[in-house]
Structure 1
Amino acid sequence: MNSDAIIECVPNFSEGTDVAKVSKIVAAMQVEGVSLLDWSLDTAHNRSVVTIAGPPAAVIAAAVKSVGKAAELIDLTKQKGVHPRIGAADVVPFIPVSGISMAECAVLARQAGLLIWRTYGVPVYFYGAAAARPDRVQLEDVRKGQFEGLREATRRDAARRPDVGGPGLHETAGASAVGARNFLIAYNVHLHQGDISAARAIARDIRASNGGLHGVKAIGVVANGRAQVSMNITDFRITPMRHIHATIQHLAQRHGALIDDAELIGLIPQEAYDEGSEWVGQITGFNPALKVLERRLEHPLAWPTA
């Protein structure tokens, strides 16, 4: 590992309506050397996403602290939202940025998972490049049944129990999926019409698991009263964003719908950014200085005060 290595961590928390709670979680992540690049609340999905980056040891420390604070503040037995979730700190992915390999990030994810369990008693499932089992590489397989279903499954099926900790889930904080992966682009497209059936049909046609576009995970949901195609793009190099946008546009027309606008959750790498492209132009309030990872690293955000 390069002594100047930089990794990114993008933890997702199952709280998107209470700014005070999320602010406390973000503030708990302030560790020397770690830069805060982005954080946002999604009320429709009742979820928040935070992006931090820095030297591996410091980023791991910050991520572990965030899981502890989320476990303290979020009670999943009372939480509801559109987005699938198994934990208060639902997903904790580590992403190589520079001077470090994916394999090294996977080792770091394993270390973080052990620390999370030992420090806060939150059990962990490893996924992505850090997966300990082939049936847990895909996040959706880990999250099958969500918190409620997984809580019951761990009681009767040893195969569904966590990789670290357990055997059951934390009573109110569930479990965290900790992994290593490449850059993921969270991209949501709203349809002009409120018909959820069109959004679901488009999502079905484009997701990779249905034979659609490589590296695209998609669901059709209603968000803030609007039909939305909610996507995670896991390989923008093979399937460029402009191609995804054009495909959605074509499918929308086929299903008698029009694209309204789009949103980007978190950041994108410089390599994925198409200046002046139609897909970027449709993203509400897009500012490359704030939303492109490499540019944000040069000018990180101030940490909130809890």
Structure 2
Amino acid sequence: MALVECVPNFSEGRRADVIAALVAAVEAASVHLLDVSSDRDHNRTVITFVGEPEPVIEAAYRTAQVAAAQIDLTTHRGVHPRIGAVDVIPLIPLREVALAECVGLARRLGQRIGTELGIPVYLYEAAATRAERTNLAVIRRGGYEALQTSIESDATRQPDFGPARVGSAGAVAVGARGPLIAFNVYLETPDVTIAQAIARTIRAASDGLPAVKALGVLVGGQAQVSVNLTDFRQTSLHTLITAIRTAAQQRGVEIARSELVGLVPQAALIEAALDALMLPPQAHDQVLEYRVGAATQDYRPVPFE
């Protein structure tokens, strides 16, 4: 069975009734809801669901419809960059489906959102029609506020689908990509300038770590390095947090804790453990549960009671 993952991000992390409506839109479709992650400071909710291709893009459209009706960007405030009520809709191939097929799905979904909901749509990552739009940060630059004027006056900000004007629902980026890990690291300081300096040090755009996007924000009075790891095969989670710890200690600060937003590939955690323990890559095949699963087709965790 072809299996596609969808991880739409919504500019709402505080109103429980709106979040419930978004979840209900997913549950009404023939897909599997896996996770809902909301943050009040970011004022953002990330929903993860999987299914066969057609039901997945139907569920994504329904959530965009709910978001457009219930989220007003003119009054929205949060620390996370955003351009729309439904800010980004990525499609990720998991099983028996190629990235190229997800590109086609993303373009069909984007066209429907632009036509039926009247929302400007920007195609990004593998679905991008312009080279510069493979980078989501380029599309988000300046946020909703800047897009309100630039979409009409700047030819480079013209959407792929939908009107060249922005209403209260903003715009949306729709794309196809590989797995992304959203990983936040809290520092033992309220000084957000330290988090911002660390973000500049580690991000790929500043000649830092490959496949790392980062920014420094203040969350609940605590400085946070907010990271999107776009390819854990290029930079492991262990390498990432080691770099953040080193940069923090150079500034006289320690890491308080970290968190995941949404889901993470199991392979990324195994790889981080192998790195931390200085084990060779082939040690991955020495995991007991993997061997049991391969022999019995039962991959449930072993309880060790």
Give the TM-score, by structure 1 length. Answer: 0.87
The yes-or-no answer on 1:257 pairing with 2:271 is no
The number of residue pairs the alignment matches comes to: 278
Q: Structure 1: how far apart are the matches of 2:19 and 2:249?
A: 38
Q: 1:65: Cα distance to partner? A: 0.5
| 1:173/1:143 CA distance change after superposition, 3 Å | same
What does residue range 279-290 of structure 1 map to in structure 2 within 5 Å? Answer: none
Q: Secondary structure at the match of 1:274?
A: helix
The yes-or-no answer on 1:243 pairing with 2:239 is yes
Which of 9, 16, 24 aligns to 1:19? It is 16
The yes-or-no answer on 1:216 pairing with 2:212 is yes
What does residue range 119-138 of structure 1 map to in structure 2 within 5 Å? Answer: 119-138=116-135
Q: Which residue of 1 aligns with 2:292?
A: none
User: Which deviations, in whole Å up to 9, do the C-alpha atoms of 1:44-64 show, x marking residues without a partner?
Assistant: 111110000010000000000
Q: Which residue of 2 aligns with 1:228?
A: 224
What does residue range 67-146 of structure 1 map to in structure 2 within 5 Å? Answer: 67-146=64-143
**Given residue 207 of structure 2, which amino acid in structure 1 is its aligned partner?**
G
Q: Which residue of 2 aligns with 1:292?
A: none
**Which runs of no fewer than 5 residues in structure 1 stay unpaired?**
281-297, 300-306
**Given residue 161 of structure 2, which amino acid in structure 1 is its aligned partner?**
V
Q: 1:32: Cα distance to partner? A: 4.4
Q: Secondary structure at the match of 1:29?
A: helix
Larger helix proportion of the pair? 2
Q: Structure 2: how far apart are the matches of 1:275 and 1:247?
A: 16
What does residue range 163-202 of structure 1 map to in structure 2 within 5 Å? Answer: 163-169=160-166, 171-202=167-198
Q: 1:160: Cα distance to partner? A: 0.8
Determine if contact 2:29/2:58 at 8 Å carries over to the other structure. no
Q: Structure 1: how far apart are the matches of 2:212 and 2:154?
A: 30
Determine if contact 1:202/1:220 at 8 Å carries over to the other structure. yes
| 1:167/1:275 CA distance change after superposition, 3 Å | closer
User: Which deviations, in whole Å up to 9, do the C-alpha atoms of 1:123-172 show, x marking residues without a partner?
Assistant: 21000000011121100001111111011001212221211011212x11
Q: Structure 2: how far apart are the matches of 1:89 and 1:279?
A: 36
Q: Structure 1: how far apart are the matches of 2:85 and 2:274?
A: 36
RMSD: 1.8
Name the % identity. Answer: 47
Determine if contact 1:121/1:165 at 8 Å carries over to the other structure. yes
Q: 1:279: Cα distance to partner? A: 11
**Given residue 205 of structure 1, which amino acid in structure 2 is its aligned partner?**
T
Q: Structure 1: how far apart are the matches of 2:14 and 2:268?
A: 30
Q: Structure 1: how far apart are the matches of 2:158 and 2:179?
A: 28
Q: Which residue of 2 aligns with 1:30?
A: 27
Q: Structure 2: how far apart are the matches of 1:272 and 1:6?
A: 20
**Given residue 24 of structure 2, which amino acid in structure 1 is its aligned partner?**
A
**Given residue 198 of structure 1, which amino acid in structure 2 is its aligned partner?**
I
Give the TM-score, by structure 2 length. Answer: 0.88
Q: Structure 1: how far apart are the matches of 2:227 and 2:102?
A: 24
Q: Secondary structure at the match of 2:256?
A: strand
